[in-house]
């Protein structure tokens, strides 16, 4: 994969998809449908998916594309692939809470090497550069040229006073019980893959997820966090979370800044 070609493309596609999402978000009431798994889908999901898929397939016709909104892709298997969630956090979108993202990632041999996470309602854009480092871009988000960027690095955590981020829509007692094993200074909640990005910026130290997720939910955020020096491991045995699994389901996982003493 030529990362010098990939990164400007996925950045641009994420921004274009974000524009279309915001047209729907800021417009009159939109229809919310239910997919076969009872999760919601809107015209924004579908329009963003069409933009991203067309762009990726044109540029990389020989690379497998997995996307949440195309069920036919879910039966595919590959060791190298592009994986997309065109609108992560549809529940946040439907409730107009703003915590939704566009996620695009490139995975090779189980590792999400590069990715982009764009939160259009928040005006925050995170991505890995060609060299693998992670940045947050500011400015007007011009499609054809990147604006000012800040290189990101995870926090140096204090295990006596951790900052924890948890899911806004999927918080449960099991998660609270696990968080209770740590000395927590403060907690925040966020929707979608923004939780990974808050670790990448150093705004949080720990993000445990004891609930169902799919690889398209996490791959881009995982890439962003890894590029900032963070880790994502399985909850059960603390081995690195791998991608390309049959069915695309993730196990429970923990995302964290190195230095956090993980609990069982």
End of a domain among 118, 151, 184? 151
Count of domains for the chain: 2
CB 148 within 8 A of CB 137: yes
Sign, CA torsion 31/36/39/44: negative
Range with the poorest average pLDDT among 144-158, 166-180, 187-201, 234-248: 166-180
**137, pLDDT greater than 70:** yes
Supply the pLDDT for residue 30. Answer: 74
Looking at residue 248, the DSSP 8-state letter turns out to be: G
Report yes or no on 174 lying in a domain: yes
Q: What number of CA atoms fall less than 13 Å from residue 129's CA on the CB side?
A: 14
Report yes or no on 157 lying in a domain: no
Report yes or no on 196 lying in a domain: yes
Supply the pLDDT for residue 161. Answer: 98
**79, pLDDT greater than 80:** yes
Supply the pLDDT for residue 38. Answer: 52
Report yes or no on 17 lying in a domain: yes
**182, pLDDT greater than 60:** yes
Same domain, 122 and 15: yes
**41, pLDDT greater than 90:** no
Same domain, 138 and 218: no
Report yes or no on 264 lying in a domain: no
Same domain, 133 and 11: yes
- The pTM (predicted TM-score) of the whole model is 0.95
Q: Which helix (H) or strand (E) holds 119?
A: strand 111-119
> For residue 119, what is the domain's CATH number?
3.30.540.10
Range with the poorest average pLDDT among 83-97, 116-130, 152-166: 83-97
End of a domain among 122, 151, 180? 151
**199, pLDDT greater than 70:** yes
> For residue 175, what is the domain's CATH number?
3.40.190.80
Supply the mean pLDDT for the chain: 94
- Pairing between β-strand 80-88 and β-strand 64-67 as defined by DSSP bridges: parallel
Token pair, residue 233, equals: 């491991």
Domain that holds residue 178: 162-256
Same domain, 103 and 183: no
Nearest residue to 168 (alpha-carbon basis) of 241, 264, 100: 100
C-alpha 244/C-alpha 183 separation (Å) is 34
Q: Which helix (H) or strand (E) holds 80?
A: strand 80-88
């Amino acid at each position: 994969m030529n990362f010098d070609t990939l990164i400007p493309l996925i950045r641009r596609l994420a921004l274009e998809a974000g524009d279309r999402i915001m047209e729907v978000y800021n417009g009159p009431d939109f229809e919310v449908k239910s997919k076969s798994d009872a999760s919601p889908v809107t015209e924004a999901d579908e329009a963003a998916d069409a933009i991203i898929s067309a762009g990726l397939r044109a540029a990389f016709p020989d690379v497998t594309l997995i996307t949440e909104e195309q069920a036919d892709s879910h039966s595919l298997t590959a060791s190298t692939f592009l994986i997309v969630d065109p609108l992560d956090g549809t529940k946040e979108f439907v409730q107009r809470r703003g915590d939704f993202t566009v996620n695009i990632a490139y995975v090779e041999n189980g590792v999400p090497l590069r990715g982009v996470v764009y939160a259009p309602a928040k005006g925050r854009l995170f991505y890995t550069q060609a060299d693998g480092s992670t940045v947050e871009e500011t400015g007007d988000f011009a499609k054809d040229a990147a604006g000012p960027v800040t290189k990101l690095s995870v926090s140096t955590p204090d295990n006596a006073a951790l900052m924890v981020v948890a899911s806004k829509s999927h918080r449960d007692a099991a998660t609270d019980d696990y968080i209770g094993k740590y000395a927590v200074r403060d907690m925040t909640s966020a929707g979608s893959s923004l939780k990974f990005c808050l670790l990448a910026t150093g705004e949080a130290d720990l993000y445990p997820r004891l609930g169902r997720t799919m690889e398209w939910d996490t791959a881009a955020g995982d890439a962003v966090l890894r590029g900032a020096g963070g880790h994502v491991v399985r909850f059960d045995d603390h081995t690195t979370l791998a991608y390309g699994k049959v069915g695309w389901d993730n196990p429970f996982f923990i995302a964290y800044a190195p230095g956090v003493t993980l609990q069982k």
